[in-house]
Structure 1
Amino acid sequence: MKIEYDPARDLLYIWFGDPGEKAARTEIVVPGVYADFSRDGKLIGIEVLDASEMLGDKVQFEVVLTTPSVEATTEPS
């Protein structure tokens, strides 16, 4: 994931795919927020226009990452 912010244009873009990957389809999430999808329907990015107005002074992202389950092994004493 890569997050880019252009202060001159007040544009925020969150890449979920490879940065620079071209969208095959764009959908409006809400006015000013657009979701870009690849040809196979995979979400590749989200664009936020007027980001400082839409998101306020602070932008916070929370991500929950799952880790592989580690099974405890016990050895006889």
Structure 2
Amino acid sequence: MRIRYDREVYALYIELLLLAPGTAENRELTEDIIADYSPDGKLAGLEILDASQVLGEQLKEIIVEDASVGVIHQREHPNLVKSVFRSASVHSER
């Protein structure tokens, strides 16, 4: 799984499955949330447009949690989505 945040357009993308370019089927769930599905119907990703407005202050705090062990990483920072998930993978390998 990969989470990307584009600060230039304020879009947050949660990639659940890696798909070949042009193979995703997009479905608008709300005006600001688009779901991508694989050709076989599996949820492949979620895009949140204008994420800074939709998520507000919640975007500044990221908590990575493993159901079997609890919180792996928690951090507050205004621009942290990319860095937290990179460091969280290091914590989860321990």
Q: Could you tell me the TM-score, scaled by structure 2's length? A: 0.59
Q: Deviations over 1:2-52 (max 9, x none)?
A: 00000011010000012x644431111111100000100011100011000
**Counterpart position of 1:58:** 58
**Counterpart position of 2:17:** 17
How many aligned residue pairs are there?
A: 66
Report the CA distance between 1:65 and its aligned residue.
3.5
Question: Quick check: which one's helix share is greater?
Answer: 2
Unaligned runs of 5+ in 2: 69-94
Question: Quick check: which one's strand share is greater?
Answer: 2
CA pair 38-29 structure 1, distance change in 2 beyond 3 A:
same
CA pair 21-54 structure 1, distance change in 2 beyond 3 A:
farther
Q: Could you tell me the TM-score, scaled by structure 1's length? A: 0.70
**CA-atom RMSD in angstroms:** 2.2
* Distance (Å, rounded) in 2 between the aligned partners of 1:27 and 1:62: 27
Identity %: 35
Q: Which has the larger radius of gyration?
A: 1
